[in-house]
Amino acid sequence: METLQTVMTPLLLTLRIALVTTFFVAVLGVCISYLLAKRDFAGKWLADAFVTLPMVLPPTVTGYLLVILLGKNGAIGSKLLLLGWNGILFTWQAAAIAAFVVSLPLMVKTATSAIGAVDRSVEEASSILGRSELETALFITLPLAKKGILAGCVLSFARAVGEFGATLMVAGNIPGKTSTMSLSIYNAYQTGNSELANLLVLVLVAISLITIAATNKLGER
């Protein structure tokens, strides 16, 4: 019973963080992807590079930058203090922000390719028939690109589940509060509890296999 609780606590926390992250990544990622795929504007390459940056930066560097931004004297943390939020670091919300930052590039890259591959003649036909750009995007472009968008969501979910470095920097490794599956595995290994570490690894591998199967299924469709 105690072992079950030891596994379920970080598992539920990890799933909560991953689901919250995936929701916001999907909403913001689709908007960014549409702009990158369909619009030409000054500094487009810079915006693309900025979004992609967390994908190539070491997780500890990403985490350090987030600590600076989310700290009480940071650009975001100071604003949250004014709103009555007494510090966001070392909370599960901070872990969700870290997972969001590292997952967003996967969503944007995948969705941008899918949206950019939509036949422009179909969108032009919609425009000729009197549909606005928003209506065309919602009822033509995004439905035609849904396979890539869903694949991006699945990959982002998987990335959020496995996030470690940035989470450790901004949320710490507090059992029952911010200790996700990855952090719990690290903690079990450090304390020599190989039995718990093996069990947590098996659960995480199972989740990863399910995610890969879902991505492959979307690719087949």
Q: How far is CA 176 from the centre of its chain?
A: 22
Q: Which residue has the higher pLDDT, 192 or 21?
A: 21
Indicate the DSSP class of residue 179.
Answer: -
Q: Which of 144-148, 171-175, 195-199, 214-218 has the lowest mean pLDDT?
A: 214-218
The confidence score (pLDDT) of residue 180 equals: 92
Mind giving me the DSSP string for 85-144?
Answer: ----TTSHHHHHHHHHHHHHHHHHHHHHHHHHTS-HHHHHHHHHTT--HHHHIIIIIHHH
Domain residue ranges in the chain: 2-220
Q: C-alpha dihedral over 209, 22, 36, 220, to 10 degrees?
A: 30
Joined tokens for residue 137: 């995007």
The pLDDT tens digits for 51-83 are 999 998 999 999 999 999 998 888 888 887 777
Give the CATH class of 2-220.
mainly alpha
Query: What is the Cα–Cα distance from 151 to 91, expressed in whole angstroms?
Result: 29
Residue 43 backbone zone (phi > 0: left; psi -120 to 50: alpha; other: beta): left
The confidence score (pLDDT) of residue 41 equals: 84
Q: Which amino acid is located at 82 in the chain?
A: L
Residue 84 backbone zone (phi > 0: left; psi -120 to 50: alpha; other: beta): left
The pLDDT tens digits for 95-124 are 999 999 999 999 999 999 999 998 888 888
In the predicted structure, residue 86 carries a pLDDT above the cut 80: no
The pLDDT tens digits for 172-191 are 888 888 899 999 999 999 88
